[in-house]
Amino acid sequence: MDLNGLALFQQMEQKMHWLSARQTVLSENIANADTPHYQTRDLKPFAAEMANAMPVVRTNASHISGGNASTVPVVARDRNFIEISPDGNQVSLEDQLTKVADTGMEYQMLTNLYRKQLSMIKTALGRNGSA
């Protein structure tokens, strides 16, 4: 079954890609916790990425137009740091580990949602609904 044409599955796939990229950036922050003058990084919020990536169709001339297309997450500095160590390092392990856990839970939730949506489509088509 080809699900590439369904917008819901495309958005879930893009979100999974974004979450994977975010885990990579967060792990780099954690790995550099002892590097002098290292500044934490994070990805732009997924909603901001989607606003640029998804084409907006104007059905009325008075509607607001969409932005530029961009499907690759852009890395930005994390401005929500708590403290800076005397050597200039701004990695807060507690903050980074919380973000890693949140990102992992969100990825797990998304994979469960993907599985459930696929099961519902199979059921609607009269096939075995279990994934």
Q: Is residue 37 part of a domain?
A: yes
100 vs 50: which has the higher pLDDT:
100
Comparing 120 with 73, which gets the higher pLDDT?
Answer: 120
**pLDDT score recorded for residue 68:** 43
Q: Classify residue 75: in a domain, yes or no.
A: yes
Placement of tokens 């969409």 in the chain: 66
How does pLDDT run across 53-107, given as a tens digit for each residue? 655 566 777 766 554 434 444 455 555 545 677 888 888 899 999 999 999 999 9
List the one residue out of 62, 63, 46 whose CA is nearest residue 54: 46
User: How many degrees, rounded to 5, is the angle at CA 38 between CA 29 and CA 99?
Assistant: 25
Buried b (16+ CB within 10 A) or exposed e, 97-129: eebbeebeebbeebeeebeebeeebeeeeeeee
32 located within any domain: yes
CB atoms near residue 78 (< 10 Å): 20
Please report whether residue 130 resides in a domain.
Answer: no
Number of separate domains in the chain: 1
Domain span at residue 77? 7-124
Predicted confidence at residue 70, as pLDDT, reads 44
Contact between 62 and 121 (Cβ < 8 Å): no
Whole-angstrom distance, CA of residue 7 vs CA of residue 107: 18
Cα–Cα distance for residue pair 73/30, rounded to 1 Å? 20
Give pLDDT, residue 129: 52
E strands, 33-93, are: 41-43, 75-77
* 2 is a domain residue: no
% of the chain exceeding 70 in pLDDT = 70
